[in-house]
């Protein structure tokens, strides 16, 4: 979702279905990977959005799990993660 004002945070959601509840975390992570692999976040550059949260959501029946990462546009005009995974 592109915010109305460029100084607000943008959000990207990717939804995945899991056959079993124990697959929820894996599928939510797959959603994040899809956003990263397909570089959906680049669409925010043309709107001059500097801060983005990417969110993978997996659901199975009434259960769900989400994973998220924050990104920002750095001085080299590239989106990078706010905190790198260790």
Give pLDDT, residue 1. 74
Alpha-carbon distances, residue 31 vs 38, 48, 76, 77 (angstroms): 11, 24, 26, 24
Task: Give the pair of three-digit tokens for residue 1.
Answer: 């979702």
Give pLDDT, residue 80. 93
In terms of pLDDT, which residue wins out, 21 or 7? 21
pLDDT tens digit string along 71-83?
999 999 999 998 7
Judge whether residue 6 has pLDDT over 80: no
pLDDT tens digit string along 9-61?
999 999 999 999 999 999 999 999 999 999 999 999 988 899 999 999 999 99
Domain range summary for the chain, segments of one domain joined by +: 10-81
């Amino acid at each position: 979702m592109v915010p109305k004002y460029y100084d607000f945070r943008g959000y990207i959601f990717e939804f995945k279905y899991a056959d079993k509840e124990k697959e929820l975390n894996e599928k939510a992570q797959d959603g994040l990977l899809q956003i990263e692999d397909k570089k959906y976040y680049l669409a925010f550059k043309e709107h001059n959005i500097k801060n983005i949260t990417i969110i993978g959501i997996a659901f199975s029946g009434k259960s769900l799990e989400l994973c998220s990462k924050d990104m920002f546009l750095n001085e080299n005009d590239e989106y990078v993660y706010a905190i790198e995974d260790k």
